[in-house]
A and B are shown apart, each in its own frame.
Chain A
């Protein structure tokens, strides 16, 4: 931890640096106004809004079925989670009972998407710190997951798959066998990443003890997801308030323990994600072994026209706690739809945990928080 130098010793003014909207390591169009004293940062101010695509205004003019592709494009790295969370909110509003097969398929797809999103998070964090090879390895493994999704619904990145009331396509004939093959291939790869990145001395020096997030500060700022679990709590919506069929599966919640430094530093946030990939693989295996049969289009409503009312539904996505607040007044168009995105609150804590560190540490902290600008700016 560095101290800002006492101004009476050296006559140095503070400098305002602009890490502009276009920068290779800001994970999207994010602008950081950094006020530094030499190399040491005294304040970081994120400026967002460069990707504000008027998602909420579109939702006030489109029907409930037409909104699903737009929810995909909010968090484009975990689009199954977004459309699943939106579908759950609409189903709560309309009191729809789903067939078991639909719930199992949704869980399988959501956990595969969690693995794909964490692969990019882990690889991009390595890229920020300076390791380029693990990024190409994680991209290669992610391509195999995208092959599975392409077999399922035809698209690689933005699926339009989870609809309110069901899913759009049933599982193709050899999907289960190919997924088992992928999981058999994937679990030894995590050991390879651990060898190259997790226990790498340079990586540990760069990320351990940097950007420590204390637990009460995290809760006060509204942080959620793996970034909060790395600070020592096992707060996970899949176990605390189980939705869908998550209460039927047996899995653990990885919690940060400060193995290489303080609890809640960047290394912890990275390692929690690596462990979560293993847990997601466990859930997928259990779900595929016990999937019931049925018709997936059985509960799809012909016209979505909920009664007057409001709903706030929460969901655990790859980045944290996604909330959809939908206000309906009886028409087939929502009156107000607000999406509470987890990366919005995660990013607001950046100033608090990176003051007093160097400029390159700001990039390390930003990479460990794993933000996606599409869901911050909506």
Chain B
């Protein structure tokens, strides 16, 4: 049985496998913690290596997305999982299963504003702690000043 058959068998309507994009779509973000436990522990899949978590912004002003890339070091297989959701939805964190997710989820929160549940230490990682806004959103506007230093490229109004 291929990976897509195993998963659609187990979780029925919450997932959808797209052959054209070769990835798994999770339709219901609240089921993600059960699905991730299954992906890690099931003997036919054994995805023990989390490579990357990327957030992305679908340009419609409402939805954000998360893309997870897993690989299995024993069975040499590869899986990509995607979740798309509206802003301010809470996503269960996979940090208890793969510790690599710790810093990647902090970065997704920092740059996109995606909120995670059950994360051990959720705070900003790349930007200063008192920064306002989430820069990689498509509707982000660069602030004029940060603590007295001018930020934008055109310094003429300041000089």
Contact = CB atoms under 8 A, between A and B. Distances in A.
A binds B: yes
Interface of A: 48-49, 52, 54, 56-57, 60, 219-222, 233, 235, 240, 309-310, 312, 314, 321, 323, 325, 327, 335-336, 338, 340, 344-345, 348, 377-378
B54 A338 contact: yes
Chain B's interface size range is: 20 to 34
Given A220-B99, A240-B76, A348-B102, A49 B125 contact: yes
A312 B69 contact: yes
Q: Which of B52, B56, B57, B59 has the most CB of A within 10 A?
A: B52
B69 A323 contact: yes
Contact of A49 (B67, B73, B127): B127
Interface of B: 21, 23, 48-52, 54, 56-57, 59, 67, 69, 73, 76, 80, 98-100, 102-103, 111, 124-128, 135-136
A222 B100 contact: yes
B59 A222 contact: no
Nearest to A51: B126
Contacts of B135: 54, 57
B44 to A, nearest CB: 19
Given A222-B98, A348-B100, A48 B54 contact: no
Contacts of B69: 312, 323, 325, 340
A64 to B, nearest CB: 17
Most buried by B among A60, A220, A233, A321: A220
A345 B59 CA distance: 29
A56 B136 contact: yes
Given A219-B73, A222-B49, A312-B69, A57 B136 contact: yes
A321 B51 contact: yes
A312 B76 contact: no
A335 B23 CA distance: 19
Contacts of B99: 220-222, 348
Contacts of A312: 52, 69, 80
B100 A338 contact: no
Given A221-B100, A310-B21, A325-B67, A335 B59 contact: yes
Contacts of A221: 99-100
23 contacts: A48-B126, A49-B124, A49-B128, A52-B126, A54-B135, A56-B136, A220-B99, A220-B100, A222-B49, A222-B50, A222-B100, A235-B73, A312-B80, A321-B51, A323-B69, A325-B52, A325-B54, A325-B69, A336-B57, A340-B51, A340-B54, A340-B69, A348-B100
Contacts of B103: 344-345, 348
Contacts of A240: 76
B56 A336 contact: yes
Contacts of A325: 52, 54, 67, 69
A219 B126 contact: no
A335 B49 CA distance: 27
A341 to B, nearest CB: 10
Contacts of B126: 48-49, 52, 377-378
Contacts of B67: 310, 325
A85 B69 CA distance: 17
A38 to B, nearest CB: 25
A348 B125 CA distance: 12
A376 B100 CA distance: 14
Nearest to B101: A222
Contacts of A335: 56, 59
